[in-house]
Amino acid sequence: MGGMSLGTLLTIFVVPTMYSIFARKTVPGAKMTEEQTTPNLHAHELIAK
């Protein structure tokens, strides 16, 4: 019974708190690969060129 209560409390309170603390340390969109910065060309756009 005690293990289930502890697991529930950790899941509901501690895990989201730790996630939000670690998420604040990163800048959104800071890691962009070259693949993400290039335009997405479709087949009909490639044929037109």
* pLDDT per residue as tens digits for the range 8-28: 999 999 999 999 988 877 766
Residue type, 49: K
pTM: 0.46
pLDDT, position 1: 76
DSSP string, 1-49: -HHHHHHHHIIIIIHHHHHHHHHHTS-TT----HHHHS----HHHHHH-
Nearest of 35, 17, 42 to residue 9 by alpha carbon: 17
pLDDT, position 6: 94
